[in-house]
Amino acid sequence: MASSLSASQKVVVVTGSSSGIGYETSLTLSRNGFLTYATMRNLNKSENIKSLAEKEKLPLKLIELDVTDDGSVKNAIQSIKAEANRIDVLVNNAGYGVNGAFEDLAMEEIRAQYETNLFGVIRVTQAVLPIMRKQKSGIIVNISSGAGRFGYPGGSAYVSTKFAIEGLSESMSYELEPFGIRVVLVEPGVIRTNFVNSMVAAKKSQDPNSPYSQLMKNVATSFQQMLEGGSSSDVVAKVVLKAVTSENPSLRYLAGKDVETWLDGKRNMSDEEFYKMMKQNLMK
Ligand SMILES: NC(=O)c1ccc[n+]([C@@H]2O[C@H](COP(=O)([O-])OP(=O)(O)OC[C@H]3O[C@@H](n4cnc5c(N)ncnc54)[C@H](OP(=O)(O)O)[C@@H]3O)[C@@H](O)[C@H]2O)c1
């Protein structure tokens, strides 16, 4: 793995690089010349990316970073700053989904979801911002979701974290632009990653006596069908690359054919029509 930083080499930090979108994004950015810090909470999962990086002689380094842990975030960002002396791009990618009807969700299940998906993004971004502000440049890429623009049954915990990321990013962008820092939201559709396997089902929603049991079964069947037509994670990685190499990045980028179709619907339909269309698709 390359270790020296050339004057023109941009430095990237990606969270959640052990699998899926984070893994692919770290590889894509390093293959395109970015000195990439592929961070993950469990370095035991780094074997694949490490051996690929060695084989291809990529400028990719591994650092432990758990987005839910203040100390871990501080240590990781400090050691990257000490070594590379700058951070040009932060990709806030780490996340997982909690699945369950709202009434079935326990407070601790919701809190854990927010701790990773929202407070994780806040924690890492606040650690990186002073560095970007001093260097008067930077791009923060927040991996949101189509679910950052519309809800679905069983998704209230997950969807609300992604809506929060959208609002957070939109507000931050006004504050940071004067310092040369851009904020980008990447909104993937259904992507075939480890996401479904890592999904946490709310305990109560697994009880067959839950009043939402049948609804959750129907939704799970529809999602399974959508997953089969889902995109691969390199679709998202390419969108991130496009955003961070753009002279003037947009606030939002969609990633995946399905999400383009849904958001077309959102733009062209009334709320009532969109709601009806979602019901027909998800609650058959
Ligand atoms: N797949 C989709 O359809 C889809 C669609 C829209 C948006 N997204 C978003 O894309 C992002 C990546 O998901 P993915 O699809 O690539 O799923 P994935 O394959 O399950 O990857 C999730 C990554 O996040 C990491 N992670 C979870 N908790 C963490 C923590 N506390 N600290 C650091 N890393 C943590 C995981 O690490 P471990 O391996 O240690 O668990 C893993 O590296 C998420 O934000 C997700 O919401 C996914």
CA 21 / ligand 1 centre spacing (Å): 7
**Residue 114, both tokens:** 């927010």
pLDDT band of residue 2 (cuts 50, 70, 90) is very low
28-49 residue pLDDT tens: 999 999 999 999 999 999 999 9
Domain 11-282: give its CATH architecture: 3-Layer(aba) Sandwich (3.40)
CA 273 / ligand 1 centre spacing (Å): 31
Kindly list the distances between the CA atom of residue 151 and the CA atoms of 18, 145, 208, in Å, as whole numbers in the listed order.
Answer: 27, 11, 24
Percent of the chain with pLDDT over 90: 91
133-164 residue pLDDT tens: 999 999 999 999 999 999 999 999 999 999 99
Could you give the 3-state DSSP secondary structure of residue 212? coil
237-251 residue pLDDT tens: 999 999 999 999 999
Distance separating the N- and C-terminal Cα atoms of the chain: 51
Domain ranges for the chain, please list them: 11-282
Annotation says 158 is catalytic: yes
Mutate to test the pocket of ligand 1, among 150, 166, 191, 262 (most ligand atoms within 8 A of CB): 191
Mutate to test the pocket of ligand 1, among 13, 19, 125, 149 (most ligand atoms within 8 A of CB): 19
Using the 8-state DSSP alphabet, how is residue 34 labeled?
Answer: -
Residues with CB under 6 A from ligand 1: 15-16, 18-22, 40-42, 45, 66-68, 93-96, 116, 120, 143, 145, 188, 190-191, 193-195, 198
Whether the predicted pLDDT of 282 surpasses 90: no
Strand stretches in the chain, DSSP E: 11-14, 35-40, 60-64, 89-92, 98-99, 138-143, 181-188, 191-192, 200-201, 231-232, 252-255
